Structure 1
Amino acid sequence: MSSMVLQTPVQLSPAAALALSQQAPAILRSSPSTASSSPFSTLLSGSEKPEQWLQYENLILACLRTGDDRAAHACLSRLVARFGDDNERVQALRGLVKEAEAKNNGALEDVLKEYDQILSENDTNIPVAKRRIALLRSMGRISDATSALVQLLDYSPTDAEAWSELSDIYLSQGLYPQAIYAMEEVLVLAPNAWNIHARLGELQYMAATAPGVANGSYQKYMAEAIKRFSRSIELCDDYLRGYYGLKLVTKKLLDDGGKPAKQTDESDFWLPDTNTIERLNELATAKLSEITRRSTANDRGWRGYSEAEVAAARELLADDAAATER
């Protein structure tokens, strides 16, 4: 079995998702076309592996991305045969397939009604509830999606995925304090997630540079952004986004004239002194240069970085070098 088929397709590049969807016919031919829904028979046969059902889910997502509805239905039918029509994950996947095949808003409204019907019978069906929220958002009904997310979090306050989605919805509306609050809840649930620290730093930086921000809030947000990006690279020494964010924040502060350390009016947040900011900027510059150089050279141990992120880092370094020359 290809390892790619066990990766979530949303994390794959379009080319990789296409390559995965093209494997669907061969995988379907090599797998049993029928499965027993009885746990006793599957236990006795010993032929069932959890990876088999995970690959069907991932194939559905990849095939829908590439327009192969026929293969997606074939994978879905095998999940239905194994787990039944009432399985919550199967219901969500079936709804996703219908969403992908919808030709207009009327068809999407029909899918939304199906979700409402399912939730009226079982309001604890988390997979369907999340699909309903995603559909509401895709239809531009942001207020309804936000309300549904808040209701979901009232029921399941430890759902990090839901908190992250709520943060993204707030960000899309320019509600930075609310977006930061929701992302902080994610961090409470995953305190050592370096990517979440970096994401929170990005939100803090966006809030600091938003039009009309007060000076006290600016310093608070920038100080917090430095702390979050620094924690991110402390947890993961080669995390590109962490170094990119640290470079961006320190460059902004130095361009502003290296604002001195000052306690804000709103909280006990302190900006580092100019020397510390310069050292952090140099550290970020050196590490970004190493990452871009070695990943571009495809050195062993430096592969797997996003091409877009590497290109953005290279552009940031080039802009900084050009500004220094001037």
Structure 2
Amino acid sequence: MAHPNLLTPPTRIPPKTALHLSQKAPLVLSSAPTSSLPWPLSLLFSRETPETWAIHENLLLAALRTGDDASARQILDRLTTRFGANNERMIALQGIYEEALARDDKELEKIFNGYEKVLKQDPTNFSVRKRRVAVLKSLGRTADAITALTVLVENSPTDAEAWAELSELYARTGAWGQAIFCMEEVLLIMPNAWSAHAQVATLHYLSATSSIPALTLALRHFARSVELNDSYLRGYYGLKLVSKKLIPLLSESSSGSKRATDEDDVAPPKLQSVKKLEELATVKLGDIVRQYSASKPGQSGYDEAEVKAARELLDQDGRAR
């Protein structure tokens, strides 16, 4: 796996990675990418490239993650100077900065009211609509956040990020059916997103209890996730977890297939197929754990907490024997 960088950061940045990225702030801020001449003459003497401002934006987010407010402020000022305070993206970045520095709910409410004013002037500013949802979540107003996201996806039905966020909120409330529906919308937009397949699988698993149809769907999506990404730890972890739960259920009753088909029209997998998938997941997880242990810190490409969970899952097999 490639090491994360400021141009193409991972979607979910672990703390160590965020710290590594934010430490690049002095280097980036030490050189000015634009000329001090007024626009448009500044463009003639600019050293900026299409990547320059993506790097600045990603560095801003990393600095906020690590509490480097001073660097974040400098980067935000530089971006504002370049694009203007009324730029749609800049309004959202300013909001993110203010949210990160908010000390209590009262300050968050003030930010929320600011977003409301922006949306009254420009209801099509989807970046601000998403920030508005983020503030509602921070305030614990889950129902309002769900309503806001529902309006957003109605107006922008191909926004995969919004559908995924809505799915997460429904899952928080235990509304598994709605959560699964929203993630399936993500898959319609991004059918080859292995992380989305894993998330759909996770939701089926969490809603399953001992339901063979739900576990079957979880198994299918976890299998698809590792088919799309052969080194996907979460996919193999889920595949093993679901397989271990399905094997005894499929073994208990030969009539299980009929019950499952009547219940949800989902044909259960063959027992031998599930056993093979469980064996495959065990081997792959073992390889990943050994690779992580043999690599230098931060060089394996895997998250430490996920590797630890995989090791514990594998250890359960040893204790069972």
Structure 1 length as normaliser, TM-score? 0.89
- Partner Cα separation in structure 2 for residue 131 and residue 296 of structure 1: 39
Alpha carbons 2:33, 2:52 under 8 Å: kept: no
Alpha carbons 2:35, 2:45 under 8 Å: kept: no
- Partner Cα separation in structure 1 for residue 240 and residue 104 of structure 2: 44
- Partner Cα separation in structure 2 for residue 80 and residue 36 of structure 1: 16
* Match among 218, 224, 236 for residue 229 of structure 2: 236
Does 1:303 pair with 2:300?
yes
* Match among 210, 220, 225 for residue 213 of structure 2: 220
- Partner Cα separation in structure 2 for residue 37 and residue 118 of structure 1: 28
- Partner Cα separation in structure 2 for residue 105 and residue 12 of structure 1: 25
Alignment deviations for residues 173-195 of structure 1 (CA, whole Å, 9 cap, x no partner) = 11111100000000000111111
* Match among 281, 287, 293 for residue 284 of structure 1: 281
CA shift for structure 1 position 52? 1.4
Higher relative contact order (CA 8 A, sep 6+): 2
Structure 1 gaps of 5+ residues are 210-214
Alpha carbons 1:171, 1:179 under 8 Å: kept: yes
- Partner Cα separation in structure 2 for residue 179 and residue 134 of structure 1: 18
In structure 2, the residue matched to 1:275 is 272
- Partner Cα separation in structure 2 for residue 110 and residue 88 of structure 1: 19
In structure 2, the residue matched to 1:88 is 88
Q: What RMSD over aligned residues (CA atoms) do the two structures have, in Å?
A: 2.2
Amino acid at match of 2:231: D
Does 1:254 pair with 2:247?
yes
- Partner Cα separation in structure 2 for residue 284 and residue 117 of structure 1: 51
Does 1:49 pair with 2:49?
yes
In structure 1, the residue matched to 2:25 is 24
CA shift for structure 1 position 288? 1.2
CA shift for structure 1 position 235? 1.5
Alpha carbons 1:197, 1:228 under 8 Å: kept: yes
Amino acid at match of 1:24: A
- Partner Cα separation in structure 2 for residue 9 and residue 288 of structure 1: 22
Aligned length: 313
CA shift for structure 1 position 10? 6.0
- Partner Cα separation in structure 2 for residue 35 and residue 120 of structure 1: 35
- Partner Cα separation in structure 2 for residue 35 and residue 107 of structure 1: 35
Alpha carbons 1:205, 1:222 under 8 Å: kept: yes
Amino acid at match of 1:287: K
Amino acid at match of 2:303: S
Structure 2 gaps of 5+ residues are none
Of 123-132 and 306-315, deviating more is 306-315
In structure 2, the residue matched to 1:115 is 115
In structure 2, the residue matched to 1:212 is none
Secondary structure of 2:261's aligned partner: coil
Alpha carbons 2:34, 2:42 under 8 Å: kept: no
Structure 2 length as normaliser, TM-score? 0.91
CA shift for structure 1 position 26? 2.8
Alpha carbons 1:186, 1:196 under 8 Å: kept: yes
- Partner Cα separation in structure 2 for residue 187 and residue 253 of structure 1: 25
CA shift for structure 1 position 222? 0.9
- Partner Cα separation in structure 2 for residue 22 and residue 305 of structure 1: 21
Amino acid at match of 1:173: T
Secondary structure of 2:251's aligned partner: coil
Alpha carbons 1:192, 1:235 under 8 Å: kept: yes
* Match among 306, 316, 321 for residue 319 of structure 1: 316
Amino acid at match of 1:310: V
**Compared CA separation, residues 169 and 34, structure 1 to 2 (3 A):** farther
CA shift for structure 1 position 36? 6.8
- Partner Cα separation in structure 1 for residue 109 and residue 160 of structure 2: 28
